[in-house]
Amino acid sequence: MGGRRGYSLKKVVGDLRKVKAPQKELLQGIQAKDPKKVVKASAKILAKSDKALESIGYSYLFVDSISSEYKKLRRERTKERRRELAKKWASFRKEKGKKFDTTTNRDVVDSTTRILGGT
């Protein structure tokens, strides 16, 4: 059975010194079970993280680059779709001259796979 993957904040956003205050707010929001505070702090963290913003931006560009193949990819089984998207993501990164860590690469491919699969 699949589950959610959790990563350290440092792995996702990079340098934690830039996000110390919002990180504290995020933890307080989680402990208080206050979704508004959690979302607000998360947005602040993303806004201050070049690493996270860059990976999000490139993943949007990637999805746009495969838009002509949506119908074909949606018909494929999940395993084949994931394999095809991994190849396309690797090719896209090479074309753009960008490197991301394994975590980001996996998340982009897995998210795109789920989106196209409708699940």
Q: What is the pLDDT of residues 23-40, one digit of tens each?
A: 999 999 999 999 999 999
Task: Give the residue extent of every domain in the chain.
Answer: 15-48, 51-117
Question: How do residues 70-108 score in pLDDT, each as one tens digit?
Answer: 888 888 999 999 999 999 999 999 999 999 888 889 989
Report yes or no on whether pTM surpasses 0.85.
Answer: no
Note the Cα 9 to chain centre separation in Å.
13
Instruction: Tell me the DSSP string of the chain.
Output: --------HHHHHS-GGGGHHHHHHHHHHHHTT-HHHHHHHHHHHHHH-HHHHHHHHHHHHHHHHTGGGHHHHHHS-HHHHHHHHHHHHHHHHHHHT----HHHHHHHHHHHHHHHHT-
